[in-house]
Structures are given as structure tokens and as C-alpha cells.
Amino acid sequence: NTLVPGVQAFLQELREKGRRILFLTNNSREGGEELQAKLARLGILATREEILSAVEIVGPLIRDRFGPSPILVIGGETLRRLLAEAGHSLVPLEAYGEARVVVLGHDFDFDYQKLTAASRAVASGAAFLAVNVDPRLPVEDGEFYPGCGTLAEAVAAASGVKPEVVGKPMPHIFRVALHRLGVPADEAAMVGDSLTSDVQGAQAVGLKTIWLAPPGTAAGDVRPDLTIRDFTEVLGRLR
């Protein structure tokens, strides 16, 4: 909830040069509207179309794959709303046996009953999608909350089935982003601070990558095209 130095000037420069921008997030609880408001509070103005959250693409993905489906949702209100808006029916927890798909997002109200229902539905053949598999939700003070990926691990352990991942580092979300931008992969660059989610994920789809390296970390086996500590390093470098 604080800005990395130079990010506003960098975004300004991108806009002045007519480059397209898209904010890409693995968020499994907040959709475009919420994130747009959050960015605005930080002083960054973005249109609704410039923000793509993993939570938004689950419903359309399931519709493309299976058609309108009965879904058991473990997750927050936005995820539930977006899935319903995408034409799916939401199965109550007790009726887990009717679910054709189980969708798992981050859920502060996760409990044993939800774990049991989701695991049983997946074990008996429902498709299993996790919005992301990030194990932690970092909190301001350096503390963390267990993330969507942690809940997915639990369901995977009990059901014996690994989830299909909708968000980064899997290709789907990057392809949706490129499609929305109307830009081929080799003309796009992904900027992010996670070597696995952002850099490896984007490289697999053919994007250039700029790694915003957290202090004290090294890239190791992953090789970003550019490594920066903050955005002042790239100011004035756009061709």
C-alpha cells in the first residue's frame, strides 16, 4: 500500500509515449472496480480496462471450457458474484455432490466444512480450479495470512487432485492480458516482483520481463531481461 519510488513518473512516461498499460494481479478476492479504487487512493489513475484481476477470468474460462456450470465456490463475495454474472449457478455447501466445478479463491472464512465439501466434490470428479496458488497473502507489517494456494494445498491433499491454476504463473492470464491490450507477446513487457509468478510466468508466454527485485534477493536460475530496484532506474529509457 505504498508506491515503489519512481512508479508514477514511469507510468506518466509510458502514457506520454502512447504505450498501453495493464495492471495484472493474482488477486482472488478483489475485482477491477475495487482495485481501480485502491490504485486511485494511491494516486494512480487507471481505467477499468487497464486492470485485470485473476478473479475476473475464472467465470469466462469455465464457461468456455464446460458451458454454464453448477459451481461450488470457496472464496469471497466478489468471486461468487463474478461467477454468477458469468452465467454459472452456485451450489450450496451441503449440495457439494452436484458441483461440476470447484473454484477456490482466498477465503478468510475457510473452515473444515468447506474443506470437506470441496475435497469430496473434487475427489468424486468435479474439475478443480484455484484462482492462484500463492501460499501467502503478505501483510503490511511483514506478517502474512495463509493465501489461496495454502487452501488449495489442503483440498489437493485430501482429494488427491492438484488444482488447475487460473492466475500467474500459468499462461492463461497472460494471454487474456495480451488479448485485452491488443499486443503480441514479443511487443509486451511484464514488470513484477515475483520471479516465479511474474518473470517465469511471462517468459513462458514470450513476454520481455523486468524484475522489480526485493532487497537482498538474487535471480538465480531465472533470468529477467532487466532487473531494477525501483522505477527511477528505468526513467527516460523508453525508446
Task: Say if residue 92 is preceded by a cis peptide, omega within 30 of 0.
Answer: no
Per the CB < 8 A criterion, the answer to whether 195 and 219 are in contact is: yes
In the bound state with its own copies, the residue whose beta carbon lies nearer, of 59 and 149, is 149
- 210 strand-pairing partners: 191, 226
Question: Of 53-112, which residues contact its own copies (CB under 8 A)?
Answer: 107-112
Contact window for its own copies (CB under 8 A) among 145-153, 162-170, 200-208, 217-225:
145-153
Output the smallest distance, CB 98 to its own copies, in A.
16
Please name the helix (run of DSSP H) or strand (run of DSSP E) that holds residue 7, with its range, or none: helix 7-16
> Binding to its own copies by residue 162, rule CB under 8 A?
no
150, 200, 227, 232: which one contacts its own copies (CB under 8 A)?
A: 150
In the bound state with its own copies, the residue whose beta carbon lies nearer, of 149 and 192, is 149
> Binding to its own copies by residue 143, rule CB under 8 A?
yes
Per the CB < 8 A criterion, the answer to whether 191 and 208 are in contact is: no
Output the smallest distance, CB 110 to its own copies, in A.
4
13, 34, 98, 153: which one contacts its own copies (CB under 8 A)?
A: 153
Q: Give the three-state DSSP class for 156.
A: helix
Residue 165 one-letter amino acid: V
Question: Cell 478443480 sits at which residue?
Answer: 128
15, 48, 65, 136: which one contacts its own copies (CB under 8 A)?
A: 136
Which three cell numbers mark 47? 481505467
Question: Of 103-132, which residues contact its own copies (CB under 8 A)?
Answer: 107-112, 115-116, 119-120, 123
Phi and psi angles of residue 89, each rounded to the nearest 5 degrees, phi first: -105, 140
Q: Give the three-state DSSP class for 11.
A: helix
Contact set with its own copies (CB under 8 A):
107-112, 115-116, 119-120, 123, 135-136, 143-147, 149-151, 153-154, 156-158, 160
